[in-house]
Amino acid sequence: MIAPSFLLRCVRMAARALALLPLALAAASAERPNIVLIVADDHGPEAIGAYGNRVVRTPHLDALAADGTRFTHAFCTSASCSPSRSVLLTGQQNHRNGMYGLQHQDHHFSSLDTVKSLPVRLGQAGYRTARIGKFHVGPEAVYAFDTVLSGGAANDPDSLGRSPVAMAEQTRPVLESKDPRPFFLFFASDDPHRANAVLPNGKPTFDTYPAPNRFGNRDAGYPGVTEVVFRPEDVIVPPWLPDTPICRAEIAEYYRAIARLDQGVGRLVALLKETGHYERTLIVYLSDNGPAFPGAKTTLYDPGIRLPLIVRAPGRTRPGSVQEAMVTWADVTPTLLEVAGVLGSVGRDELDGRSFRAALDGAPVPDRDEIYASHSLHEITMYYPMRAVRTRRYKLIHNIASGLVFPSALDLVQSPTWVGLMRSGGTVFGRRPVAQFLRRPPFELYDLETDPDEIVNLADSPAHRAVRDQLIAKVRAFQETTRDPWRHKWNYE
Amino acid sequence: MIAPSFLLRCVRMAARALALLPLALAAASAERPNIVLIVADDHGPEAIGAYGNRVVRTPHLDALAADGTRFTHAFCTSASCSPSRSVLLTGQQNHRNGMYGLQHQDHHFSSLDTVKSLPVRLGQAGYRTARIGKFHVGPEAVYAFDTVLSGGAANDPDSLGRSPVAMAEQTRPVLESKDPRPFFLFFASDDPHRANAVLPNGKPTFDTYPAPNRFGNRDAGYPGVTEVVFRPEDVIVPPWLPDTPICRAEIAEYYRAIARLDQGVGRLVALLKETGHYERTLIVYLSDNGPAFPGAKTTLYDPGIRLPLIVRAPGRTRPGSVQEAMVTWADVTPTLLEVAGVLGSVGRDELDGRSFRAALDGAPVPDRDEIYASHSLHEITMYYPMRAVRTRRYKLIHNIASGLVFPSALDLVQSPTWVGLMRSGGTVFGRRPVAQFLRRPPFELYDLETDPDEIVNLADSPAHRAVRDQLIAKVRAFQETTRDPWRHKWNYE
């Protein structure tokens, strides 16, 4: 029999060893910065001061850009919330990690149990990990964080994700912790996503026509937020949206939600400074996909996938720089793993993206002149797989389910902007004929230099046959490399 | 402070109460039979002796039918393995329980966490529950059985599901248990599904042309199985298959797998008799969907969904009877819950099907003259949602994604039967033009009395407009009642 005193000694020794662990990890990670990944919901770059919009009010994002690097050619790979976040947090395309569509309700997509996510990898590398706000990926075990400061369902009107200043305040336990390990904070707002209104019969709806969707704005405001109200006549209507009164009214609401979100970012940065973390924290601001308007979100057109990316890296030497390297959200996980010093331990074939750490400080980097995108579904009923390659000059989209009418997300097809146009008999949405938006050929090829709005399809132009075939070959190779289940369609249909 | 002796007494009392529990449950369920649900994989009624095939050898299935009731109008609701099993085991359509497609590998579908399945309900009703062989549904927690005698992945050549006699032997722990509670045994073979062959490069394939797929048959045979080999010239080619040498060779392999499965059923029935359970056990034999040939599996044509159903109920008074009531796999869970005496405790809106218990003994039952079917996906890349209603005379299929080429499952498009026809330039498969099989209009309407092979689409026939519109209205009502996510397509596309 083992003496109780011996057992007691063993327990004490173990406890002492455990107590030393954080110090050992801290020593090992002395040079590793904290990482704050801020993910906005449906925020396009066209509505940020630093990206040239002089009407919207984003002083804190503008300050972050002035103190860091603003990317001009950053892209999500799927303009749908859950798929895009799954790519961000795994470094794998949605068609590889299993998150083919939305995670919530009856859409019910989830990543494969075998996937190893960014928070899990960072946790194993000695980071403490925490998330707050919108999540929208699953299963929980694959995307495990040490600490869930708050969760919240998708499109939940009571979500904390609509109250970004309160969110920032609730990160204090992470920021004020005495734990010497670096932290990874995933900070994701519900703003500026569209919000459901509740009908008199209790059912939710996005269709409030002729009133605009409120994008989460409410008369009572939100804690710590100074409401910034915009006049429809002042907003900037981008070329891909119709310049109608209802669309202007909706953009005004969208701006207001962005101004709120901006204040949350400002509060979070202030707290990082207050707690002495700012100079040793990598801050990333980006959006999961483009704005929640038809023509952007759920498409692979630039308004859907070309997004804000603002990075403020510790020890930067080029504050306020503009980075033109082409990067995607598939590259974010490898980049952050390199920042954390553990990219080398990850098998190259486990990641579809590649690190752009060298680009974080704004210095020009070579070999960043094309990106790939992959959309599969959004809602379960919205099957419309597309694969695309975009160079600086061209974009080629392969519409795998070309025979279908393009299926519009409920929040977009019910949006007052769309409903208004349909009721008035409009046949052009922005600069794109509605018929062309709804019925797409198997291949679309655009010359972005002469046609930045992607209206003139050159796929059948004899003069562009060579570039088309070259880009199709690239898309096929991308599908092979990333083990796309849809690659079989090339052989069997 | 509580005295230790008092605590000890409490523990003893609790233990005694727990020991009495099985007896109490047994008393409560004195009249409740055991339930054995045998699920074959891709077995059509055209290949069973009791259903009229004089070539295939199914003496044990024939004996079960001779001692019970054989259904002539039994239908799965989705001719795809995982969705069909999910319907069987929940009483809810796939579009409601979340199992829209296959469960394994990158297809990765699973039922909603909120679904309450048959094994869970029976377990709560005092049944002990066990499963053996092919499962192919998930998540495990939703489809929880007390005991997993064996599992096995889909299409795993080493699966126990290819060795049905060994499977039967392995049910002994359930059959020989002294536990007085009734049992629910889910017994599911991999036979007679197609089987992968392994190429010299190590990759699996279904394409072995000009050799037939072996349907799990192997030269070494299987434990306890007497191999029954069929000659291609003897098999019966159903009208929906091409009468080609390679198709005959494949049917011969299919028959051989069925003869093996039949022996497993025979062994299981023998064990039920040997252990004294036969007279108090409800035995159900059915198949998840139609045979793994193009034109059947993954379609809503009768070869895909009209299936064997043989039931041997304790205390039957009409052995060898033939039941013409129209029933579906959505009705199986409510039926078995009624058999177990607990249907009344289940909310009516929790089940899409309805009990056919009254029909089990072969007596004619009223109000069983139409059924509904719902197919969503098979593989993740095989989006082709269809909704159908079938009466005794008509079938109406709504092809929701009509614009797509009908996507063929890998095991079917690679099948030597299909490959052979394509290589020979054939344009008709069975009696159906290949072009018609691959390109389908939004609506198909067939008069099954004059056109049992479902070749002449009457959807645009002026003479059939009334019946078509009536059946379309029924399909829409079905979609509403069963909360089909695809019902929105009626409004938004």
DSSP of B215-280: TT--TT--TT-------GGGS---TTS---HHHHHHHHHHHHHHHHHHHHHHHHHHHHHHTT-GGG
Distance (Å) from the C-alpha of residue B486 to the closest C-alpha of chain A?
A: 6
A contact test, residue of B82, B94, B108, B437 with most A CBs within 10 A: B108
Closest CA to A319 of A91, A70, A136, A78: A70
The reply to whether residue A381 touches residue B407, judged by beta carbons under 8 angstroms, is no
Q: What is the pLDDT of residue A439?
A: 97
The reply to whether residue B492 touches residue A413, judged by beta carbons under 8 angstroms, is yes
What is chain A's Cα-based Rg?
23
Residue B120 burial (CB count, 10 A): 18
B contact test, residue of A92, A383, A402, A483 with most B CBs within 10 A: A383
Closest CA to B316 of B337, B333, B339, B334: B339
The reply to whether residue A485 touches residue B106, judged by beta carbons under 8 angstroms, is yes
CB-CB neighbors (< 8 A) of A100 in chain B: 380
Q: For chain B (length 493 residues), average pLDDT per consecutive 10?
A: 52 50 42 96 98 98 98 98 98 98 96 98 98 95 96 70 96 97 97 92 91 96 97 98 98 98 98 97 98 98 98 95 98 98 95 97 95 98 98 98 95 96 96 97 98 98 98 98 96 86
Residue of B nearest to A383 (CA): B383
Distance (Å) from the C-alpha of residue A19 to the closest C-alpha of chain B?
A: 36
* Encoded tokens for B119: 């094994």
Average pLDDT (A55-84) is 98
Distance (Å) from the C-alpha of residue B379 to the closest C-alpha of chain A?
A: 9
Closest CA to A278 of A288, A286, A266: A266
Residues 6+ apart with CB under 8 A from B119: B89, B129, B131, B143, B144, B145, B184, B186
The reply to whether residue B403 touches residue A403, judged by beta carbons under 8 angstroms, is yes
Q: What is the pLDDT of residue A24?
A: 40
Residue of A nearest to B438 (CA): A493
CA pair distance A215, A415, nearest whole angstrom: 11
CB-CB neighbors (< 8 A) of B383 in chain A: 383, 401
Q: What is the pLDDT of residue B25?
A: 39
Whose tokens are 């020009």? That residue is A364
Distance (Å) from the C-alpha of residue A263 to the closest C-alpha of chain B?
A: 37
Q: Which amino acid is at B481?
A: T
Residue B345 has phi, psi (to 5 degrees) of -85, 0
Average per-residue pLDDT for chain A: 93
* One-letter-per-residue 3-state SS of A1-65: CCCHHHHHHHHHHHHHHHHHHHHHHHHHCCCCCEEEEEEECCCCHHHCHHHCCCCCCCHHHHHHH
Going from the C-alpha of B123 to that of each of B120, B146, B213, the distances in angstroms are 5, 8, 40
CB-closest option in A98, A108, A407 to B112: A108
Three-state DSSP class for residue B148: strand
Q: What angle do CA B151, B157, B161 make, to 5 degrees?
A: 40
Residues of chain B above pLDDT 90, percent: 88
* Encoded tokens for A339: 């920042």
Closest CA to A171 of A130, A224, A226, A225: A130
Q: Which amino acid is at A368?
A: R
Instruction: Mark whether A81 is an active-site residue.
Output: yes
Q: What is the pLDDT of residue B405?
A: 96
Q: Enter the DSSP assignment of A102.
A: -
CB-closest option in A107, A112, A493 to B405: A493
Closest CA to A89 of A40, A152, A137, A29: A137
Which of the two residues, A6 and A481, has the higher pLDDT score? Answer: A481
CA pair distance B159, A258, nearest whole angstrom: 55
Residues of chain A above pLDDT 90, percent: 88
CA pair distance B264, B192, nearest whole angstrom: 12
pLDDT for B432-448, tens place per residue?
999 999 999 999 999 99
Q: Name the packing angle between helices B245-274 and B59-66 (round to 10°).
A: 60
Residues 6+ apart with CB under 8 A from A458: A445, A446, A447, A464, A468
Q: What is the pLDDT of residue A331?
A: 98
Residue of A nearest to B409 (CA): A492
* Encoded tokens for B236: 């019966």
* Encoded tokens for A18: 């455990």
The reply to whether residue A379 touches residue B485, judged by beta carbons under 8 angstroms, is yes
Residue of A nearest to B419 (CA): A492
Q: What is the pLDDT of residue B17?
A: 47
CA-CA-CA-CA torsion sign (B84, B140, B486, A43): negative
A contact test, residue of B383, B384, B413, B440 with most A CBs within 10 A: B383
Residue A238 burial (CB count, 10 A): 19
CA pair distance B414, B422, nearest whole angstrom: 11
The reply to whether residue A401 touches residue B401, judged by beta carbons under 8 angstroms, is yes
CB-CB neighbors (< 8 A) of A489 in chain B: 381
Closest CA to B232 of B247, B215, B249, B244: B249
Average pLDDT (A213-218) is 96
Residue of B nearest to A402 (CA): B404
Closest CA to B49 of B193, B195, B228, B173: B228
CB-closest option in B112, B380, B401 to A100: B380
The reply to whether residue B110 touches residue A110, judged by beta carbons under 8 angstroms, is yes
Cβ proximity of A185 and A131 under 8 Å:
yes
Closest CA to A100 of A132, A122, A78, A67: A78
Chain centroid offset of residue A237 CA: 22
Three-state DSSP class for residue A363: coil
End-to-end CA separation in angstroms for chain B:
71
Q: Enter the DSSP assignment of B47.
A: G
CA pair distance B326, B73, nearest whole angstrom: 5
Q: Which amino acid is at B252?
A: A
Closest CA to A192 of A287, A303, A63: A287
Q: What is the pLDDT of residue B225?
A: 97
Q: Interface of chain B against chain A, CB under 8 Å?
A: 98, 100, 106-108, 110, 112, 379-381, 383, 385, 401, 403-405, 407-408, 410, 413, 485-486, 488-489, 492-493
Closest CA to B152 of B144, B143, B160: B160
Residue of B nearest to A438 (CA): B493
Distance (Å) from the C-alpha of residue B380 to the closest C-alpha of chain A?
A: 8
Q: What is the pLDDT of residue B487?
A: 97
The reply to whether residue A485 touches residue B112, judged by beta carbons under 8 angstroms, is no
The reply to whether residue A485 touches residue B381, judged by beta carbons under 8 angstroms, is yes
Q: Interface of chain A against chain B, CB under 8 Å?
A: 98, 100, 106-108, 110, 112, 379-381, 383, 385, 401, 403-405, 407-408, 410, 413, 485-486, 488-489, 492-493
Distance (Å) from the C-alpha of residue A211 to the closest C-alpha of chain B?
A: 20
CA pair distance A238, A248, nearest whole angstrom: 10
* Encoded tokens for B368: 């069983």
The reply to whether residue A401 touches residue B405, judged by beta carbons under 8 angstroms, is no
CA-CA-CA-CA torsion sign (B105, B110, B116, B117): negative
CA pair distance B493, A405, nearest whole angstrom: 7
Distance (Å) from the C-alpha of residue B65 to the closest C-alpha of chain A?
A: 40
CA pair distance A396, A458, nearest whole angstrom: 9
Q: Which amino acid is at B457?
A: N
CB-CB neighbors (< 8 A) of A413 in chain B: 492
Average pLDDT (A152-171) is 84
Average per-residue pLDDT for chain B: 93
CB-CB neighbors (< 8 A) of B385 in chain A: 381
Three-state DSSP class for residue A464: helix
CA-CA-CA-CA torsion sign (A242, A246, A250, A252): positive
- Partners of residue A396 on adjacent β-strands: A389, A445
Cβ proximity of A47 and A240 under 8 Å:
no
Residues 6+ apart with CB under 8 A from B213: B194, B195, B197, B206, B250, B253, B411, B415, B416
Question: Could you tell me the pTM of the whole model?
Answer: 0.92
CB-closest option in B100, B381, B488 to A486: B381
Q: What is the pLDDT of residue A28?
A: 40
Q: What is the pLDDT of residue A166?
A: 96
